[in-house]
Structure 1
Amino acid sequence: MTLRRVNVVILVLLAVAFLIIVQRNLLNFSDFLHSEHPDAGAVLPFESELSPDLRLELVRKGEEIPVLITAAEERLGAVVAAMNSIYQNSKANVVFTIVTLNDTVDHLKMWLSRTKLKNIKYKIVIFKTELLDGKITKDPQSFETAKPLTFARFYLPAYIPEAEKAIYLDDDIIVQGDIQELYETNLKPGHAAAFSDDCDSASAKGIIRGAGNQNNYIGFLDFKKEAIKKLGMRANTCSFNPGVILANLTEWKNQNITRQLEQWMELNTLEDLYSKTLAESIITPPLLIVFYKRHSTIDPMWHVRHLGATGAGKRYSPQFIKAAKLLHWNGHYKPWGRTSSFSDVWDKWFIPDPTGKFNPVRRHAGDN
């Protein structure tokens, strides 16, 4: 063997040894990262310094957290903003069930697939409007009769049949906390659902003079009617807001809650049982009856309400809003439409419509 060949062999051996050392170092570094972030895989140490859009998408494992939300075509931007806030503020394995109508499916799929929400887990379910036949009055002056999707919350087990627990959320919300915390709220034995009471300290700040009895049963039910009298309910009982529901679906099915709600809907078409004080509310009364003193409570900070009511949201301080874990713009003023309180908070989570069909409207630019 010539000297030149010997040198070549030595160089090759040195190169192989170098590659082996490099490989071992990389494996050790990978093991280090895995030990630091066992659920995330190879996560870069400076991940937190990256912008949300540039972060590596983490694989979300563990128990699934089912979240049901409805998607009406004219409010699709609200749904996207709500889902984005839930997904970005939690590392939990959230699975969305989106209940909508046929004419919205294509628009919704395009919005999700062409934006940073393309990695979320979701299924789309079509609401069958015939479910409401004979259960609501076809009154054109009624605020909610033209919005069948608002009744989807009555049918939770049908849409998420495999789950034991689920969360229902209205679309006009923004979640600022980790949704897993809400999901882990304890429900008392025998309770099929948990709600936020309207008398809690957080929501009480938003009650407006002249808006009726918004925080007790007499604001929703006509206690002069015999069917209501027979129930023996106290008119001044604190009501609750069904815009956020944590449901025990096993109890819901065992107690046949859906059928109970339907029966009160049907009876209302015959006897007009609801209060005229809040005439547009045909969703809340059946729930108040069925869950009278039979529901658990949600932490008030997980349902800060009335941001969409006239002047009510302005009673909250910016510091309080920042600390709130869930914000709800219930009321006539929505953050994507007419001027509402703290619409700038909603804007942070809104994702522009890639089709250009939906655009937030500000009546008074800069007046948030």
Structure 2
Amino acid sequence: MALLRKLNRVLMMVLVLMVFTLLYSKLFKSQSTAKLSKTRKDPGHGAKVAHEEKSEMEDAIPVVICASEERIGGTMATINSVHSNTRASVFFYIVTLRDAIKQIRQYIGKTKLKNIKYKILEFNPMVLKGKVKPDTSRPDLLHPLNFVRFYLPLLAINHNRIIYLDDDVIVQGDIQELYNIKLKPGHAAAFASDCDLPSTHDMVRSIGMQTTYMGFLDYRKQEVRNLGINPSDCSFNPGVFVADIAEWKRQKITKQLEKWMMENFKENLYSSAMAGGVATPPMLIVFHDKYTTIDPTWNVRHLGWSPDARYAESVLKEAHLLHWNGRFKPWDYPCVHLDRWEKWFIPDPTGRFSLVRPEG
């Protein structure tokens, strides 16, 4: 009898071990499958997983750029110009919404860009809930991707320093030069000041482009006046900048930006009808007197401010970066200096993005 009880215990232990083994096998298989599925979905191109993970860790220049479905051709032109004008290794973090992921993969995979190193990051627009008001005067300036620059530390970026570029720029210089800028102690970012490029001042004045804080903040509001920022202080352009992610985190820059977004949501301290829309003023407030200046030739801007005002050819040649900020984009019509942009444009292999040009 005792022998029978002992045998039953042994059989029970064997049965328990078999059950645990079976459960462990199923769990391990499930986790492996889930990990592989996520890895395939996130990077966004057909290279091997191991190659992509290695690419992120390379000593590459990381460039963050957004790609909206309706402006995807602009993003690809920017990427092409960066990639073509440097010998350095560049890694592109392409931030987008879910509806554009498939098109981005096809745009890159079926064109000359297929050999670039990149990763697609999906941005969740719900992070903006309660922080951005609808505004019918410039709805394009309220696109969720306009606010990606606020959330850089929250993106899946494996670099401590990054370059952020808008999708309406063309890089004519070597991006390594911009990346190597020395940030001053305590500065989380470097921007181009709106007062630093004398050769463009005449055109800026002729088209009425704002270059001071007065053009971006509503100084009738007491909360704006309490900032103590002189309305005649020079503004800067946040469409091109170099950022130190560690310093950004240390200073809690994202939380500061969100604070001013929510203040504007309640008090209308600025609006998209003003010069920089609703994405520029929080940057101007948070980084006032706390940023390093970059060489102004690395952001020769206002090309999209007027369909008629043109830069001198000498200015265009000296520019390391051309920026069509404003309403008149180079993929639409009318716009100035189209030849400078079209040189880098790559037609969409899916046919969904096309240039707007006059007939004939």
TM-score, normalised to structure 2, is 0.80
Change (3 A) 1:210 1:80: closer
The match for 1:302 among 293, 298, 305 is 298
Partner of 2:120: 124
- Between the two proteins, the alignment pairs up a number of residues equal to 305
**Does residue 315 of structure 2 align to residue 320 of structure 1?**
yes
For the Cα contact (< 8 Å) 1:187–1:193, is it kept in 2?
yes
**Does residue 188 of structure 2 align to residue 192 of structure 1?**
yes
Q: Deviations over 1:167-222 (max 9, x none)?
A: 1100000000000000011111000111111111244243144636x100011001
Partner of 1:211: 208
Q: Distance in 1 between matches of 2:141 and 2:184?
A: 33
For the Cα contact (< 8 Å) 1:65–1:93, is it kept in 2?
yes
Following TM superposition, by how much is the alpha carbon of 1:162 offset from its aligned partner in structure 2, in angstroms? 2.6
For the Cα contact (< 8 Å) 1:206–1:313, is it kept in 2?
yes
Q: Distance in 1 between matches of 2:84 and 2:202?
A: 28
Partner of 1:37: none
Bigger drift between 83-92 and 220-229 goes to 220-229
Partner of 2:147: 151
Q: Distance in 2 between matches of 1:137 and 1:275?
A: 9
Higher fraction of helix: 2
**Does residue 36 of structure 2 align to residue 68 of structure 1?**
no
Partner of 1:94: 90
The match for 2:103 among 77, 95, 107 is 107
AA at the equivalent of 1:249: I
Following TM superposition, by how much is the alpha carbon of 1:163 offset from its aligned partner in structure 2, in angstroms? 1.5
For the Cα contact (< 8 Å) 2:85–2:172, is it kept in 1?
yes
Q: What are the equivalent positions in structure 2 for 1:1-368 lying under 5 Å apart? A: 63-144=59-140, 146-201=142-197, 202-209=199-206, 211=208, 214-274=210-270, 278=274, 281-310=277-306, 313-314=309-310, 316-363=311-358
Partner of 1:53: none
Q: Distance in 1 between matches of 2:268 and 2:279?
A: 14
Change (3 A) 1:276 1:335: closer
For the Cα contact (< 8 Å) 2:141–2:277, is it kept in 1?
no
Q: Distance in 1 between matches of 2:267 and 2:241?
A: 28
Q: Distance in 2 between matches of 1:184 and 1:265?
A: 31
For the Cα contact (< 8 Å) 1:195–1:297, is it kept in 2?
yes
Partner of 1:27: none
Partner of 1:21: none
Following TM superposition, by how much is the alpha carbon of 1:138 offset from its aligned partner in structure 2, in angstroms? 2.3
Change (3 A) 1:70 1:185: same
Change (3 A) 1:250 1:312: farther
Partner of 2:35: none
Following TM superposition, by how much is the alpha carbon of 1:62 offset from its aligned partner in structure 2, in angstroms? 6.4
For the Cα contact (< 8 Å) 1:308–1:333, is it kept in 2?
yes
AA at the equivalent of 1:111: Y
2:203 counterpart SS class: coil
Change (3 A) 1:203 1:69: farther
For the Cα contact (< 8 Å) 1:207–1:306, is it kept in 2?
yes
Bigger drift between 128-137 and 154-163 goes to 154-163
Q: Distance in 2 between matches of 1:197 and 1:260?
A: 21
Root-mean-square deviation (CA), in Å? 2.1
Change (3 A) 1:289 1:60: closer
Unpaired segments of 5 or more residues in structure 2?
A: 1-54
Following TM superposition, by how much is the alpha carbon of 1:84 offset from its aligned partner in structure 2, in angstroms? 0.2
For the Cα contact (< 8 Å) 1:221–1:274, is it kept in 2?
yes
Change (3 A) 1:205 1:244: farther
2:185 counterpart SS class: coil
Unpaired segments of 5 or more residues in structure 1?
A: 1-58
Q: Distance in 2 between matches of 1:189 and 1:327?
A: 28
AA at the equivalent of 2:90: V
For the Cα contact (< 8 Å) 2:57–2:158, is it kept in 1?
no
AA at the equivalent of 2:113: L
